[in-house]
Chain A
Amino acid sequence: MGKIMLEVNQLTTKYVTRANEDVYAVDHVSLKIEEGKSLGIAGESGCGKSTLALSLIGYYFPPLHYMSGDIIIDGKNISGLDPDTVRKSVLGTDVAYIPQAAMNALNPTRKVYKFIEDVIHAHGLDMTNKDIYDMAHKRFEEVGLPEEALLKHSVELSGGMRQRVVIAISTILNPKVLIADEPSSALDVTSQKMVIKMMREMMDKGMVKSMIFITHELPLLYNVTDDIMVMYAGQIVEKGTAKQMVFDPVHPYSRGLMRSILVPEAGTRDVKLTAIPGTPPNLKHPPAGCRFADRCKYAVPACKVNAMPIMEFEDNREYRCGHSVQHLREVYEHEDRAE
């Protein structure tokens, strides 16, 4: 077992709506990532995956509020720090964050290398501009970006190139955890592949020690991360390796998600595509029992009453359901045969 880079214990954060109601978008989430590993987070829109990303970087601004739990990055607990401290001493060095629209965040009037100077100066590192430029040049070379990109304005770069440049800038200080929230969803497939390739290389070369990758595109997640975690209504419902999660999901919700995957591969035309009925519960008033019970094909009355804890099974896998793993597998097998 490698060194733990990120450990999150029972993290709970909430949004306060305009009507002053509390929405617990991240509800007692715990996770661990080892050095050199990556974790994917999947789930439908509104499940709290993007809020989890914001919560993990410790950057709390209304309407998002920290409630409880720990975020420990390489032994340093950053939970509950004020945003200014987080910006100065955590962002960039411990955690780097790349949102979906990152590529549009660069000030169009400045050249790319200027942003790198900003990052270095903001962290109070003693380097001359010449040193910074050389370092940036070296880094760009390592991740396969052309040197010209440094001397251009962001608007002169294509979308995919811009996104890669932003990732290179955010990780220039070799953060311990990189949190990428849909970093390639706004790009065409070829640019997406380039972004993914670069991120993989950065992991391999140790420029980034560990990574959390958030997307709703499951085939992408399968190809990018080691482990996958499925979130539903602010909670983790299942966790396992990418392979286990895609080919052997246990939780009924994960199974529903995996059965909505469409890829252009031989044989996939004959699988049955399924839909999960209904909509996720309103988190202003979360249900008392299992949060998925209302949409679950296998729910029994008890599911709606008893709150489900997350339970470990097999080797490092976790799930949150009232039925036993063995039982669920039997039911699934039965269903598959019937098809």
Chain B
Amino acid sequence: MKTELNNEAAVKAGPNTEGMNQEQLRQLEEGVSLKIDRNKDFSNAPSVLRGEGVTRIFTTGKTRTVAVDHVNFNFHKGELISIVGESGSGKTTLSKMLLGLLEPSDGTIYFNDQVRDISTGAKKRAYWKGIQAIFQDPFSSYNIFHKIDSVLEDCINLRGGKNLSKQEKYDMMTEACSFVNLKFAELTNKYPFELSGGQMQRLMIARIFLLKPEILLADEPTSMIDACSRATILDMLLKLRDETGMTVIFITHDIGLAYYISDAVYIMEHGKFVEQGPAEKVILEPQAPYTKRLISDVPKIHEPWDLSTVG
């Protein structure tokens, strides 16, 4: 146990960075601790995305499936909203409608208090300047034939930076990468699949950083990532929100995660919002039977997990 004795003093002094290379130093910095400012009230903030009676029905042959059933919502500027639902609840269909990838069968969506109009290609492109997404699976989010450079350059071009000089573009990409703790110089000429899942997801956030949309829809961005790197991704999303005043819509099945990060929570069951409101209120004092059941069925660590509630 010689090592142990020698180590004592060193540990008290904090991490020993001597003899570490840049890569290791940077990795240590990634080990963030997440602390969220909870004292914000968004009820008076302007509405960015609002829906009234939004419905989507899928028809295949004679069967009609109501995936999203007359939902109403109001997302405020700078707010972090979680939409919580289990598989089959319609949350993915709703997210596609919010993104404008799928037309609602019924209902109206207001974008910045104007009725959203995405009837033509040009109007769609204009809308997509205001809303962007991060998807669940980082491995399928990238075109495997495109290099990281072209992924990021595409974003700059999209924000009207087509005519910028090479150096300016390079600087912008470097800034975006350093925002998510990646070194662009090390990534250039690489393909996204050469990165780990967590790094790929961070690159997705760098993309959003360049695009700076008003709304970010994050569809289970951490579910394919190990729990111990989850905080990094969440931290970056929150930093993005704080710096740019972005509205973040977080789609998840993990009610614990939703409770932790969001300002407002919408609980979705069978295409309907069964409960919505501030996270603290919805999770700690659930009213709807479905919310109650959902919360009681999740294993806990401070309260006993009552197994007798299921058959």
Instruction: Give me the interface of A with B, judged by CB distance under 8 Å.
Output: 44-45, 144, 188-190, 192-194, 196-197, 200, 216-220, 222-224, 246, 256-257, 260-270, 272-279, 294-295, 297-303, 306, 322-324, 327-328, 331, 339
Complex CA gap A252/B201 in Å reads 25
Known: A262-B257, A264-B283, A294-B24. A276 touches B307 (CB 8 A): no
User: What is the CB-to-nearest-CB distance from A327 to chain B, in angstroms, rounded to a whole number?
Assistant: 6
Nearest CB of chain B from residue A275's CB, rounded to whole Å: 4
- Spell out B's residues near A (CB within 8 Å): 1, 3-4, 6-8, 10-12, 15-16, 18-19, 24, 27-35, 38, 86-87, 196, 198, 226-232, 234-235, 253-260, 279-280, 283-284, 293-295, 297-303, 305, 307, 309-311
- Do the beta carbons of A274 and B33 come within 8 Å of each other? yes
Question: In the assembly, what is the distance between CA of A278 and CA of B202, in Å?
Answer: 13
A11 to B229, CA, bound (A): 29
Q: Given the known inter-chain contacts A219-B299, A300-B16, please indicate yes or no for A197 contacting B310, CB distance below 8 A.
A: yes
A263 pairs with B231, CB closer than 8 A = no
List A contacts of B280 (CB < 8 A).
269
A220 — which chain B residues lie within 8 A by C-beta?
A: 299
* 16 further A-B pairs in the complex, CB-CB below 8 A; given A277-B232, A328-B11: A44-B226, A216-B227, A260-B231, A261-B256, A262-B259, A263-B299, A268-B302, A273-B230, A275-B232, A276-B31, A277-B29, A279-B198, A300-B7, A300-B16, A302-B7, A303-B7
- Check A295/B27 contact, CB under 8 A, given A194-B311, A262-B256, A300-B16: yes
CB pair B30–A277 under 8 Å, yes or no, is yes
Residues of A within 8 A of B29 (CB): 277
The residue in chain A whose Cβ has the minimal distance to the Cβ of B16 is A300
Closest B residue, CB atoms, query A160: B310
Contact call A306/B28, Cβ cutoff below 8 A:
no
CA–CA, A220 and B298, complex, Å = 8
The reply to whether B24 and A44 contact each other, CB–CB distance below 8 Å, is no
CA distance A301 to B259 in the complex (A): 40
Whether A267 pairs with B302 at a CB distance below 8 angstroms is yes
Most chain A beta-carbon neighbours within 10 Å: one of B11, B31, B38, B283: B11
CB distance from B43 to the nearest CB of A (A): 19
Partner of A322, one of B7, B18, B257, B300: B7
Asked whether, in the complex, the Cβ of A246 is within 8 Å of the Cβ of B295, the reply is no
Given contacts A144-B311, A275-B228, A297-B28, contact A219 B297 (CB under 8 A): no
Contact (Cβ within 8 A) A256 B228: yes
Residues of B within 8 A of A339 (CB): 33
Closest-by-CB residue of B relative to A294 is: B24
Q: A267-B302, A273-B260, A274-B31 are in contact. Are A197 and B231 (CB under 8 A)?
A: no
Please determine whether B297 and A190 come into contact, CB atoms closer than 8 angstroms.
yes
Tell whether, in the assembled complex, residue A278 and residue B30 are in contact, meaning their CB atoms are under 8 Å apart. yes
Q: Out of B86, B226, B235, B256, which one reaches A45, CB within 8 Å?
A: B226
Q: How far is the CA of A260 from the CA of B254 in the complex (A)?
A: 13
C-alpha gap A241/B117 in the complex (Å): 58
Residue of A nearest to B226 (CB): A44
In the assembled complex, the Cα of A36 lies from the Cα of B34 at a distance in Å of 40
Are B295 and A264 closer than 8 Å at their CB atoms?
yes
Query: Closest A-chain residue to B32, C-beta based?
Result: A275
Task: Identify which of A257, A261, A265, A297 contacts B31 (C-beta below 8 A).
Answer: A297
Chain B: which residue is nearest A220 at the CB level? B299
Tell me whether A275 and B256 are in contact (CB under 8 A): no
Q: Which residues of B contact A276 (CB under 8 A)?
A: 31, 228-229
- Cβ B31 vs Cβ A323 within 8 A: no
Contacts of B4 in A (CB 8 A): 322-324, 327
Q: Would A273 and B300 be within 8 Å (CB), given that A197-B307, A260-B231, A303-B3 are in contact?
A: no
Give Cα distance in the complex from A262 to B254, angstroms. Answer: 9
Contact A331 B11 (CB under 8 A): yes
CA distance A270 to B256 in the complex (A): 13
Which B residues are CB-close (under 8 A) to A266? 284
Bound together, the chains give a CA A136 to CA B242 distance in angstroms of 59
Instruction: Output the least CB separation between B3 and chain A (Å).
Output: 4
B228 and A265 contacting across the interface, CB-CB below 8 Å: no
Q: Which residues of B contact A196 (CB under 8 A)?
A: 299, 307
In the docked arrangement, what's the CA distance between A196 and B300, Å?
A: 14
Known: A279-B196, A298-B15, A300-B16. A274 touches B226 (CB 8 A): no
What is the CA–CA distance of A200 and B303 in the complex, to the nearest angstrom?
18
Check A189/B294 contact, CB under 8 A, given A45-B226, A246-B301, A260-B227.
Answer: yes
Nearest to A217 among chain B residues (CB) is B299
| A264-B7 contact, Cβ under 8 Å, with A219-B299, A273-B33, A277-B28 | no
